[in-house]
Amino acid sequence: MEILGTTLRIYLDDLAALDTTAAFYERITGTAAQRFERGGVSVAAVGCFLLMSGPREEIDLLRKVAATVAVKDVEEAHIALTAAGAQVIAGPVATPVGRNLIALHPDGSVFEYADRKQEAPQPGR
């Protein structure tokens, strides 16, 4: 499994804070935020920072994920992780920017693994 980098996860209490905070990270990174919504959570990805705001129940679940690990290929990560003893607890699934999975490591840590590969459109969709 080829690891390309990590993303720092920042959780915000309200949507207004997301806009202000995204502007700050855009200034310090020189990168425009990629914005999307998933499961009721508003997300702004700015450089290596992932800013999230949404319903408390959703954010509380997301807080259990220590970090996002960028990989070349999520399917390869799935194979390597399970072979090493990790348990994939969600995914792989398509996201607005690629694919991801959530894995529980044997030490109890939880990480998201994500790639930038878009799934090919399925016939009839």
The predicted-structure confidence for 80-119, as pLDDT tens digits, reads as follows 999 999 999 998 998 877 899 999 999 999 999 999 876 5
Residue type, 105: H
Q: What is the pLDDT of residue 26?
A: 97
CB atoms within 10 A of CB 101: 22
Which CATH number is 3-115 given? 3.10.180.10
What's the rounded Cα separation, in Å, for the pair 55 and 70? 26
- Which tens digits make up the pLDDT trace of 17-66? 999 999 999 999 999 999 988 888 999 999 999 999 999 988 988 899 99
**Is residue 86 within 8 Å of residue 110, measured between CB atoms?**
no
H/E element, 20: helix 15-29
pLDDT for the residue 121: 47
Q: Quick one: pLDDT at residue 122?
A: 47
Show me where the domains of the chain are located.
3-115
Token output for 37: 């919504």
Cα–Cα distance for residue pair 23/103, rounded to 1 Å: 31
